[in-house]
Copies of this chain bind each other. A is one copy, B any other.
Amino acid sequence: MKVAVMGAGGGGVALASHLAQQGFQTALYAPPEHAKNAYAISEQQGEIHITGDHPLTCKVDTVTLDIRQAIHGAEIIFMVVPAFGQEALFENMLPFLVDEQVIAVMPGNFATYPLQYMLEKVRPTLDITLIESSSLLHVAEIEEPGTVHIASQHKNLLEFSVYPEYQTQKAQTLLQKCMPETHIKIVNNYLAIGLNSPNGIVHPALTILNCGYIESTHGEFYFYKDGMTPAVCKIINALDKERQAIGKAYGLDLPALLDIIHHYYGINALSLRDFALTSAVHNQRYSAPTCYSHRYISEDVPYLLVPWLSLAKAANVNTPVLKSIISIATELVDCNFVKKGRLISHFLPSQPIVPLHLSSQQAV
């Protein structure tokens, strides 16, 4: 079976190595403007060096800057790119997609909405399945071109939504085949997937509340055990409660962040602070951003917090902490995130917002 991984950052390369190890024919694609890693892996004849708890070297079959070549014949195509690159990549993929292909966006950041919108507009008769997850399979980052540091083997559980809903069984079987040691949980509501992102709950608040620390030390501290102090955890927990309240307004009983973390990493921390202090995965090395204009702000605010805020506003849910994090991020990087972010209302301008895949029993 052929699989394609679109995106050669830390998450993409880690996933490609995981798929190659399962014995799949694996193609790794990088867009020409972000191809540093792809060039290095190509020069290594497709070899990827993994460091971390389980160091190894494995080999992908194809490394390419050619979209058509990457996705040709692939049963499943993983899009592992920053949220702001999803729509452009999908637009470039669209002409070459064929019926029955499955596209899994990891993490989704509410990608299902814009992608199915583009699909219906450009190729309405194409029969493909769109999947999105709330997280990546690994905690990984590029160490140097061609080498990726993977802090944990893989997550214990991953949640996905599937569109259209009748493809759920097909999607689940395929995902389980690709990640045999991970429990694949299908949540048939892409709003729940976007709302359950730990990145959104943790990253922007943690970055802002450590703004001086980050700049003063250039990120040379343990982001979790040093930065996620009791007071910072208080704010993250407050944000988490607001997120759950938003879910509730849409009929969704969302798990608390601590439960999400427990399932992902198979641990059992007593509190967020306890998790921050004891998680081996998150405390292997200095992992604080080196400056505040980092994807923890530039990606997680517009593609997670802004959709959350647009859902909160539409349902009249009061979210002072969520608003505050967005306002401060807006000032920090001089970008009108609320205007430029992924507003759910963009895709449903004249309709009330309801979850795309909400089955009638679940509907509010």
* Interface positions of A (Cβ within 8 A of B): 206, 208-216, 221, 226-232, 234-235, 238, 291-292, 320-321, 323-325, 327-328, 330-332
CA distance A321 to B330 in the complex (A): 10
Tell me whether B234 and A215 are in contact (CB under 8 A): no
CA distance A324 to B211 in the complex (A): 15
Tell me whether A331 and B235 are in contact (CB under 8 A): yes
Chain B residue with Cβ nearest A239:
B331
Provide a sorted-by-A list of 5 A–B residue pairs whose CB atoms are within 8 angstroms: A209-B209, A210-B212, A216-B221, A235-B328, A323-B327
**This chain's copy number in the assembly:** 2
Q: Which of B232, B291, B321, B325 contacts A211 (CB 8 A)?
A: B232
CB distance from A113 to the nearest CB of B (A): 27
CA distance A321 to B211 in the complex (A): 15
Chain B residue with Cβ nearest A232:
B212
User: Which residues of chain B have C-beta atoms less than 8 A from A208's C-beta?
Assistant: 209
**What secondary structure prevails in chain A residues at the interface with B?**
helix
CA distance A216 to B320 in the complex (A): 26
Chain B residue with Cβ nearest A227:
B212
User: Which residues of chain B have C-beta atoms less than 8 A from A238's C-beta?
Assistant: 331
CA distance A14 to B255 in the complex (A): 54
CB distance from A338 to the nearest CB of B (A): 10
Tell me whether A231 and B215 are in contact (CB under 8 A): yes
Q: Which of B228, B292, B321, B331 contacts A212 (CB 8 A)?
A: B228
Q: A212-B227, A213-B213, A215-B232 are in contact. List 19 more A-B contacts (CB 8 A).
A: A206-B212, A208-B209, A209-B328, A212-B226, A212-B231, A213-B216, A215-B230, A215-B231, A216-B221, A231-B292, A231-B332, A234-B332, A320-B330, A320-B331, A321-B327, A321-B331, A323-B327, A324-B324, A324-B327
